[in-house]
A and B are shown apart, each in its own frame.
Chain A
Amino acid sequence: MKKIQFFKVLMLALFVSLGVVGFAQHGEEHQPAEHAEKHEAGKHEEEFNLAEEALAHIANANAIHVFGDFYIPLPAILYAPGHGWSFFMTSKFDAHHHGNGEKAIDHYVMKHGVIHRIADESFPYGEVAIDGFAHGKIEKDGKEKDVAYAVVNGKQYLLDEKSTLDGGMLGGGKTSYMDFSLSKGAFTMLLVLLLAFWLFRAVAKGYERNKGKAPSGVQSLLEPVILFIRDEVAIPFIGKDKYERYFPFLLTLFFFILGLNLIGQFPLAGNVTGNFSFTMVLAIITALYVNFSGNKNYWEHVLWMPGVPSVLKVLILTPVEILGVFIKPFTLMLRLFANIAAGHIVLVAFVGLIFIFGHSGQSMAGAGAGTVMAFLLSMFMMAVELLVAFVQAFVFTLLAAAYFGAATEEAHH
């Protein structure tokens, strides 16, 4: 019966994060302020910008880039106030070099694999061929901002920023549209959902079939992992009599993060756990669950620490403890995101050695040396990332268990 509860929580977490990541479209991917792109409209840049390239590669996208000009299209679900909903496959953009689409559809264009919207109302609706993209800087509120333009018939149209979860309220700039598309990240999550469902159905069936007998098949693979989470994480941190309530959630966290970490190592798959919006949703769900299951002692220790002079409580302890309630999920979110994103950035940087040494295809000998180095270094990095995938899934679960333990601790003084 515990299994059924586990599946319910798994499904809930998967669907909630699926919806939000699909909606949130990597709100954090700010381009570095120094990034200076000098290329003119319609001309491809000759210079290799590693930082920009790395960020584009780990970002969420609206199409899966396989090789060259071949993209696997994904459904686009877009809403613009005043125009309404738009549904189409992203293959309609005719994406070519660098994931830049050659067509605008109902004001939407694809740049670097991501859908943007042309806010200018004078732009015609329907399918319009575009000549290319241009970059520029504008002054806004005393700050210089990088902006992109779509070039149509020699005229430049300003592109909106990517749509974000907060609708631009937190400083990203208000966008004229909202992107609910099934993006690369959401698609990857759907894959992991199906895989996890299939695997754990097999495990659950195995427990019915092998009652009182040794486990068989995939059950033998996953049982030690489940027992490890129970004996090394749940019981020591939450306690023997209370862990059962939080165990399904902890297992869900562990296997979901682990699955996404591992699938993120494959080419083509989306980088989900290295996505700010996704780790934010996980951290918020965990924080809500922790704080709603906090007992009287937990809140007493947060708000009015017993045994401490009142002056100290008001001046230091209570503010710090209340801050701590928010800092805990914040660090959960940052740790997972930063570890996975950093690993992917380093990997792209190593592969980028080929282009740096080869001077973008001008020096074959340099490119050859770069390839050898990139091969060895990225083999090493992949091995490290495999370790990090397990450690980060474990650490997230461990810290969640520690927070549950702190929230449900009984008084003992």
Chain B
Amino acid sequence: MGGSITAIGMGLAVIGGGIGIGLIGSKAMDAIARQPEAVGDIRSNMILTAALVEGVALISLILSYIL
């Protein structure tokens, strides 16, 4: 595994996913601060969106691992 170009690919995938999930989290925190009573809706939508972003990152992780 180590020392190959796949490691770079895995790192790039993690950077992309990390930025995406970070943005989602920060915006969700903003939204909760503005409207604390909507915390339930915001939380489930946040997790849903984070899961979608994470899915893309994980696909590239798996592909860079298999190929």
Residues of A within 8 A of B (CB): 30, 32, 34, 51, 232-233, 236, 330-331, 334-335, 338-339, 342, 391, 394-395, 398-399, 402
Contact count A vs B, C-beta below 8 Å:
41
How far apart are the CA atoms of A30 and B66 in the complex, in Å?
8
27 A-B residue pairs with CB within 8 Å: A32-B1, A34-B4, A51-B1, A51-B2, A232-B44, A233-B44, A236-B41, A236-B44, A330-B59, A331-B55, A331-B59, A334-B55, A334-B58, A334-B59, A334-B62, A335-B51, A335-B54, A335-B55, A338-B58, A338-B62, A339-B58, A394-B47, A395-B48, A395-B51, A398-B47, A398-B48, A399-B48
Q: How far is the CA of A394 from the CA of B48 in the complex (A)?
A: 10
Quick one: closest B residue to A339, CB to CB?
B58
B50 to chain A, nearest CB (A): 8
Give the 8 A-B CB pairs with smallest separation, nearest first.
Answer: A331-B55, A338-B58, A395-B51, A51-B1, A335-B55, A232-B44, A32-B1, A334-B58
Classify the interface of chain A: helix, strand, loop or mixed.
Answer: helix
Q: Is the C-beta of B61 less than 8 angstroms from some C-beta in chain A?
A: yes
Q: Please give, as numbers and ranges, the residues of chain A lying within 8 Å of B41 by CB-CB distance.
A: 236
Q: Which residue of A lies closest to B2 (CB)?
A: A51
Q: A330 contacts which chain B residues (CB < 8 A)?
A: 59
Where chain B touches its partner, the secondary structure class is helix
**CB-based contact B51/A398 at 8 Å:** yes
Q: Are A395 and B47 in contact (CB under 8 A)?
A: yes
Beyond contacts A30-B66, A32-B1, A395-B51: 19 other A-B pairs, Cβ-Cβ < 8 A, are A34-B1, A34-B4, A51-B1, A51-B2, A232-B40, A232-B44, A233-B44, A236-B44, A330-B59, A331-B55, A331-B59, A334-B58, A334-B62, A338-B62, A391-B47, A395-B48, A398-B48, A398-B51, A402-B48
Size band of the B side of the interface?
10 to 19
Which of B's residues lie within 8 Å of A, judged by CB? 1-2, 4, 40-41, 44, 47-48, 51-52, 54-56, 58-59, 61-62, 66
* B3, closest chain A residue (CB): A34
Minimal Cβ-Cβ distance residue in A for B43: A232
Q: Residues of B contacting A342 with CB < 8 Å?
A: 61
* Residues of B close to A391: CB separation below 8 A: 47
Q: Which of A233, A236, A399 contacts B51 (CB 8 A)?
A: A399
In the bound complex, how far is the Cα of B2 from the Cα of A51, in angstroms? 9
Q: Inside 8 A of A399's CB, which chain B residues have their CB?
A: 48, 51
Bound state CA distance, A18 and B47, in angstroms? Answer: 29
Cα–Cα, bound, A335→B53 (Å) = 10
Q: Which residues of A contact B1 (CB under 8 A)?
A: 32, 34, 51
A391 to B44, CA, bound (A): 11
CA–CA, A32 to B1, complex, Å?
A: 7
